[in-house]
Amino acid sequence: MSFSAAEIARYARHIVLRDVGGPGQARLKAARVLVVGAGGLGSPLIQYLAAAGIGTVGIVDDDRVSLSNLQRQVLHGTADLGRPKTDSAGEAVARLNPHVAVEPHPVRIGPGNVRELLRDYDVVADGSDNFATRYCVSDACFRAGKPLVTGALGPFDASLTTIRAHETGPDGQPNPTYRCLFPEAPPAGTVPTCQEAGVLGALAGLLGCAMALEVIREIVGFGTGLVGRLLMVDALSWRFETLRYGWDETNPLNGSGGREAGQDPAGPPE
């Protein structure tokens, strides 16, 4: 894949980077990444994917920009109030890097459309704010054989992991699914929403950038990723910890859980 003179100048610091180089930048240009959510995590994630030269960025979000978003959702501005987030996000990417194609999906992702939305993308990055969407997206990525980078944000804490549950790990066992890490969603009402508990805006920026780095690493192939590892950030004490987690053979996707319950392991768990 060739680069124009403008692209060579734009990506010069990647091209001279030993573990990226021209071949790595070509992989970024050829890549298609689907971002779920153009909010607190999606905003910095989309910006840095665009700056890195991802060829095509799909953006799924059915929300409109509100004033309370702007404390952390830096992809949007005051002039965007009331606009669909996919529209303002697309314009922001165009201003940042005209070489990146944006595919807006102004819909709410769910069981009825998730497979179609994922179908044409190489990597999925989930910055949604609820367990129902995370389970839906992670299950669909497993069935479609897509790598998933998924992040979560609390008031002063955040976490990030990568799921490649459709593949086998070095130990010969399947890689863990999202359901191996979180078998069940917390009971309703036990985890306050962002509106109820608040969130530190700069923390969203920190984790969104980390998500972009992990997506780029997944595409280019340098370093050691977060498959089977959960990165946890505590912004109150500036603690970064990594928790290892493994495959649960009873999980309903690539384990025995679905068969034991009389389910199709490739179908939605009850």
Residues with catalytic function: 194
Cβ distance 39 to 70 under 8 Å? no
Instruction: Indicate the SS3 state at residue 269.
Output: coil
**180: how many CB neighbours lie within 10 A of its CB?**
22
The closest alpha carbon to 10, from 50, 39, 38, belongs to 50
Q: Measure the CA–CA gap between 263 and 260, rounded to whole angstroms.
A: 7
Instruction: Indicate the SS3 state at residue 86.
Output: helix
Cβ distance 100 to 48 under 8 Å? no
Cβ distance 125 to 38 under 8 Å? no
Cβ distance 216 to 28 under 8 Å? yes
Chain center to CA of 55: 16
**Whole-number Cα distances in Å, 28 to 16, 59, 89, 205, 267:** 15, 17, 20, 22, 32
Instruction: Indicate the SS3 state at residue 77.
Output: coil
DSSP β-bridge partners for residue 84 = 64
Q: Amino acid identity of 156?
A: F
Q: Please give the full DSSP string across 153-171, using - where no structure is assigned.
A: E-SSEEEEEEE-TTSB-TT
Q: Which two tokens mark 241? A: 């910890």
